[in-house]
Amino acid sequence: MEKWLFVVLVVWINVSCQAPNQEYLVGKWKLDSVHYHYNNFSHSSTGWYQEEIYEYLPTDELIVRAVDAYIKIPISINGREIHHLDGQGKPEETYRIIKLEKSNLVLKVENTPLFSGKNQTRYEIRYFSKVP
């Protein structure tokens, strides 16, 4: 029994640590909500006043569209991380893929604290749904 449980645990750890299927990432994603966290204070935003669409291209680019404007961002993907790059190809922001399925995407980004001091946590979790 213990040996069987050990095998199941090893398989589960191996599967959970694997990089998500990046083919699922290519396409258009609608931003549904964002959860903001800062030093044990949290709130979520839903029902955006404008629709934001994030389109991941197979050419390692991201196009973010809102209202009548868009911005194109070069990206690189490394395992479970999506790096937004600046004009020189250096990472500006890093989003961790929490969940990536055919129709759902969840990303987490660590933000720098607003105030100086230790033991501060500030992050956003963004929830997306696939646009058909």
Q: Which domains does the chain have, with CATH numbers?
A: 21-130 (2.40.128.20)
Q: How confident is the model at residue 48 (pLDDT cuts 50, 70, 90)?
A: low
Residues 56/65, Cβ–Cβ less than 8 Å: no
Beta pairing, strands 104-110 & 122-130: antiparallel
Q: How confident is the model at residue 12 (pLDDT cuts 50, 70, 90)?
A: very low
pLDDT tens per residue across span 105-119: 999 999 988 888 888
Helix (H) or strand (E) holding 14: helix 2-17
Q: What DSSP character marks residue 22?
A: G
Q: List the structure tokens of 85.
A: 């790059």
Q: How confident is the model at residue 8 (pLDDT cuts 50, 70, 90)?
A: very low
Can you give the pLDDT at residue 51?
87
Residue type (1 letter), 59: T
- For residue 6, pLDDT beyond 60: no
Q: Which residues, in sequence order, are CB contacts of 105 under 8 Å at separation 6+? A: 24, 25, 29, 97, 99, 127, 128, 129, 130
Q: If you average pLDDT over every residue of the chain, what do you get?
A: 84
Q: How confident is the model at residue 44 (pLDDT cuts 50, 70, 90)?
A: confident
What pTM did the predictor assign? 0.79
Helix (H) or strand (E) holding 110: strand 104-110
Q: Rg for the chain (alpha carbons), in Å?
A: 17
117 versus 126: which is more confidently predicted?
126
Residues 75/82, Cβ–Cβ less than 8 Å: yes
Residue type (1 letter), 41: F
The mean per-residue pLDDT over the stretch 30-54 comes to 85
